[in-house]
Amino acid sequence: MRGLAQYAMNGRRQAITAALLCGLIPLANMLTPAIVGLVGLRHGPREALMVAAWAALPLFGWAMAGDITPLILLVGVFVLATVLRQSSSWQPTMLVAILVGVGAELALRLRPEFLVLLTEQVEMFMASGNTEMPAVPPDMMQGVLINLFGVMHMFLAICLLMLARWWQALLFNPGGFQQEFHQFRLQPSVAVALMVLFVLASFGITALSGWTMYFVLPLFFAGVALVHGLIGIKKLSRLWLIAFYMLMLNPPLAQLLAVFALADSWYDFRGRIQKQS
């Protein structure tokens, strides 16, 4: 991974070559947005746009074949890298990532044939199970799939941007990403606003009733940063991180982590522990 990032940083031609070659290979094409993000973080949006224009060529081919995810992530990571470079803050970047999810939803709605195929595949999977599943109206099923599609792309765009930021730190600022991420904490007003929107959307009070997870993800990543920061301050074993990520496979615990992130925005656990030590 480091070799790929280092090669891409040798010049525009090398970055374009790396992005194009990754874009041609299934699964590896998910690294193309990260390469563009790295270029954007290091050299700015203009240079990243030059690389993205070439990188998009194979991704357009995948989109025509039915896989629109790499192309959506290319656009999303480019936007997020621009925001992070200009703001030097993960908070506005996380908030803009919500728009990436919304954009992914719109892209899926513009491909109704793909949505129908996806719905049929899910219904076949549910029907093949051993247990009887309650009948779900097609409109409701499509609504859930569209929302999950958007949330998945928001999550992946943030993860790929983090990969690009880690590459940048690895090559030019060793340890910089770890320090930056360990300190990431949402402002109290932003954290409360996200939680209020989540509660309102959960009860269908607002027009954003299907967007609950969009408001949770920034809090979730702030919670992940909190755990990483606390483990770093206490200098605990990496086994604690492994155990933590295994626990995060349980959705209720992931939501509980968002609550801890909300509390941390007011209490600043890391700052208080550092003062006591």
pLDDT tens sequence for the chain (277 residues): 889 999 999 999 999 999 999 999 999 999 999 999 999 999 999 999 999 999 999 999 999 888 899 999 999 999 999 999 999 999 999 999 999 999 999 998 888 777 777 777 777 766 665 555 555 666 677 778 888 999 999 999 999 999 999 999 999 999 999 999 999 999 999 999 999 998 888 877 656 667 888 999 999 999 999 999 999 999 999 899 999 999 998 888 888 999 999 999 999 999 888 887 6
pLDDT at 252: 86
Q: Are 54 and 19 in contact (CB under 8 A)?
A: yes
Largest Cα separation within the chain, whole Å, is: 59
CATH class of the domain defined by 1-173: mainly alpha
CA dist., res. 91 & res. 225, Å (int)? 12
Alpha helices in the chain (DSSP H): 2-8, 12-24, 31-43, 45-65, 69-87, 90-109, 112-127, 138-172, 176-182, 188-202, 212-234, 239-247, 251-267, 269-276
Q: Are 138 and 119 in contact (CB under 8 A)?
A: yes
CB burial of 97-114 (b: ≥16 within 10 Å; e: otherwise) equals: bbbbbbbbbebbeeeeeb
Q: List the domain boundaries for the chain.
A: 1-173, 183-277
Q: Is residue 66 packed enough to be buried (19+ CB in 10 Å), middle (13-18) or exposed (0-12)?
A: exposed
Written as one letter, the residue type at 223 is G
CA dist., res. 88 & res. 93, Å (int)? 9
Q: Is the pTM of the predicted complex or chain greater than 0.75?
A: yes
pLDDT at 207: 60
Q: Provide CB contacts within 8 A for 89, sequence distance 6+.
A: none
Q: How many CA atoms lie within 13 A of 86 on its CB side?
A: 12
pLDDT at 19: 96
